[in-house]
Amino acid sequence: MKRKHLLGLQELSKEEINTILDIARPMRDIIMRDIKKVPTLRGKTVATLFYEPSTRTRSSFELAAKFLSADTLSINVGSSSVQKGESLIDTIRTLEAMGVEIIAVRHQQSGVPKFISLNTKMSVINAGDGFHEHPTQALLDLFTIKQKLDKIEGLKVAIIGDIYHSRVARSNIWGLIKLGAEVTVCGPPSLIPVEIEKFGVKVEINLQRTLEWADVVNVLRIQRERQDAGYLTTLDEYRDWYGLTQEKLEKLKGKKLLILHPGPMNRGVEIDDYVADGPNAVVNEQVTNGVAVRMAVLYLLAGGNESGNVD
Ligand code: CP
Q: What digits encode the pLDDT tens for the residues 21-78? A: 999 999 999 999 999 999 999 999 999 999 999 999 999 999 999 999 999 999 989 8
Ligand 1: atom nearest CA of 127 is 3
Smallest CA separation from ligand 1 atom 5, residue: 54
Query: What's the confidence (pLDDT) of residue 152?
Result: 98
The reply to whether 279 and 201 lie within a common domain is yes
Q: What is the CATH number of the domain that holds 254?
A: 3.40.50.1370
Rounded (10°) CA dihedral 130, 166, 259, 296: -30
Residues 114 and 228 occupy one common structural domain:
no
Range of the domain at 281: 135-286
Instruction: Output the pLDDT for position 140.
Output: 98
Q: Is the pLDDT of residue 1 over 80?
A: no
Q: In what order do the strands lie in the sheet with 71-76?
A: 71-76, 45-50, 102-107, 123-129
Q: What residue type is assigned to position 265 of the chain?
A: M
- What pLDDT does residue 111 have? 98
Atom of ligand 1 nearest to the CA of 134: 3
Same domain for 208 and 106? no
Is the CB of 136 within 6 Å of ligand 1?
A: no
Q: How far apart are CA 70 and CA 168, in angstroms?
A: 27
Q: Judge whether 4 is annotated as a binding position.
A: no
Task: Please check whether residue 127 is in contact with residue 106, taking contact to mean a CB–CB distance below 8 angstroms.
Answer: yes
Q: What are phi and psi of 38, to 5 degrees?
A: -130, 155
Residue 3 lies inside a defined structural domain of this protein: no
Question: Are 183 and 75 in the same domain?
Answer: no
pLDDT grade for 2, boundaries at 50, 70 and 90: confident
The answer on 142 and 282 residing in a single domain is yes
Classified as helix, coil or strand, 71 is strand
pLDDT at 229: 76
Domain annotation covers residue 307 = no
User: Do 72 and 159 share a domain, yes or no?
Assistant: no
Q: What does DSSP assign to residue 220?
A: P
The reply to whether 187 and 232 lie within a common domain is: yes
150 and 237 both lie in a single domain = yes
Question: Which residues have C-beta within 8 Å of that of residue 123, sequence separation ≥ 6?
Answer: 4, 5, 101, 102, 103, 301, 302
What pLDDT, on the 0 to 100 scale, is given for residue 311? 67
Same domain, 89 and 166: no
- Residue 311 lies inside a defined structural domain of this protein: no
- Residue 59 vs residue 304, higher pLDDT: 59
Considering its fold, how many domains does the chain have in total?
2
Same domain, 237 and 297: no
What pTM, to 2 d.p., does this model score?
0.96
Q: Is 111 left (phi over 0), alpha (psi -120 to 50) or beta?
A: left
4 in a structural domain: no
Percent of the chain beyond pLDDT 70? 98
What are 208-232's pLDDT values in tens digits?
Answer: 999 999 999 999 999 877 667 778 8
CA of 232 to the centre of ligand 1 (A): 22
- Is 84 labelled as part of a ligand binding site? yes
- Both 158 and 239 in one domain: the answer is yes
Segment 188-211 shows an average pLDDT of 96
Torsion sign (Cα): 64, 66, 71, 72 = positive
pLDDT surpassing 90 at residue 182: yes
Q: Does the pLDDT value for residue 309 go beyond 80?
A: no
Residue 306: inside a domain: no
Q: Are residues 108 and 23 in the same domain?
A: yes
310 within a domain of the structure (yes/no): no
pLDDT band for position 150 (cuts 50, 70, 90): very high
In short, whether 262's Cβ falls inside 6 Å of ligand 1 is yes
pLDDT value of residue 233: 82
Q: Given this model, what pLDDT does residue 305 score?
A: 82
For residue 134, how far is its CA from the centre of ligand 1 (angstroms)? 9
